[in-house]
Structure 1
Amino acid sequence: MTAAGLASVAAALLALPAPALAATAQTATAQAQVLENIQYAVLLDMDFGRVATTGTAGVIELNPGSGTRSCDPTLVCVSGFAMSELRLTGSDANVQVNFDPTFQLTGPGDPIMAEPLFPGGPGAVVTISGGETVVNFGARLFINAGQAPGVYAGDFTVYLEYH
């Protein structure tokens, strides 16, 4: 056979499909758990209590970690106060808690700015166990200088996501 003939035979052999090899199959398991929607109920509204001012600005803080209220020396805080208390319900799992960085209380005078406070800060993770857990929110309330007397109220938003 000539070199050209050998090259043609070699090219033809390369074009043939390779012999099939024996294959094995393995079975793997997959699963998913569908979680309940996270719900929350307000058990107790946030209440900074009553405050008297000397006409200068000041800060009231409701600390959810310690359950205490503190007032700047320029303010006189009287009467009771309350942290916001929320009951989270859903599947037993970790839940990340986030919230807007500020909210406002409005009333007869200039709006009063507040910053929510949550143990661990924004992005903190709490665990729902037994289908529910209760969390407390506090806030820093920034009373304006010359704040007009009256009742001020507002809302803050909480975002909950399984984590």
Structure 2
Amino acid sequence: MNKLFKFAAASAVGVAVAASASSAFATDETGNASAQIQQAISIVENTPMDFGNVAVDGSGGTVTISTAGAVTGPAGYSFSGSPAAGNFTASGDASTAVTISFTAGTLTGPGTAMTINNFTNDAGGTPTTDGAGDLAFNVGADLVVNAAQASGAYAGTYTVTVNY
């Protein structure tokens, strides 16, 4: 019995030493975390895009308005009125790079709808908000006039997206 008791006692001591030894090797480390919260970007249209008065011949064609508001198109077309490039101001975090993208739109009126696409802007290759968080830019685009387009007033929309 004595041997059995000594063996059991030695085993218990061995288990206790092993348990305390493994917890002696454990350690804790505090992890670090961070986040940069960016202000939501808002955008305001200051000037709607206006192709002005476009006199067309019977053929279809593409009319382009530049970011400076100059309108050009096929040789048989003439232009008058007060064309204007679209003008927008985006506001967000100061001195931060953004991207500008567009979704094509349509102008509807008395005739077949016309597509607005191939957008351009004058914000540069890497647009960045200024020190106050603002970015003003002009928008140009193409207006696809259909063959035998009916005369009359046309209006529609397109989408401008500004994102960090």
Give the TM-score category using the shorter length: 0.7 to 0.9
**Is 1:158 the counterpart of 2:160 in the alignment?**
yes
Q: Deviations over 1:109-137 (max 9, x none)?
A: 111111041248xxx75211222110111
Superposition TM-score, scaled by structure 1 size: 0.75
Aligned to 1:90: 92
The one of 29, 32, 35 equivalent to 2:38 is 35
1:17–1:109 Cα change, 3 Å: same
Q: Deviations over 1:126-162 (max 9, x none)?
A: 211222110111110011111111010001112222x
Aligned to 1:62: 65
Distance 2:74 2:15 in 1: 88
- 2:37 partner letter: V
Distance 1:22 1:113 in 2: 68
For 1:46, what is the secondary structure of its paired residue? coil
1:22–1:54 Cα change, 3 Å: closer
Please tell me whether Structure 1 or Structure 2 has the larger radius of gyration of its CA atoms: 2
Q: Which structure 2 residue ranges, 5 or more long, are not aligned?
A: 1-9
Contact 1:36 1:91 in 2 (8 A): yes
**CA RMSD after TM alignment:** 2.9
Aligned length: 147
Normalized per residue, the structure richer in helix is 2
Give the superposition deviation at 1:23: 5.2
Aligned to 2:3: none
Give the superposition deviation at 1:14: 9.9
Distance 1:81 1:68 in 2: 7
Contact 2:54 2:78 in 1 (8 A): yes
Q: Which structure 1 residue ranges, 5 or more long, are not aligned?
A: 1-8
1:67–1:18 Cα change, 3 Å: farther
Give the superposition deviation at 1:87: 0.6
Contact 2:69 2:83 in 1 (8 A): no
Distance 1:135 1:54 in 2: 33
Aligned to 1:44: 47
Q: Deviations over 1:19-52 (max 9, x none)?
A: 3248585775x43332222111111000001011
For 1:73, what is the secondary structure of its paired residue? coil
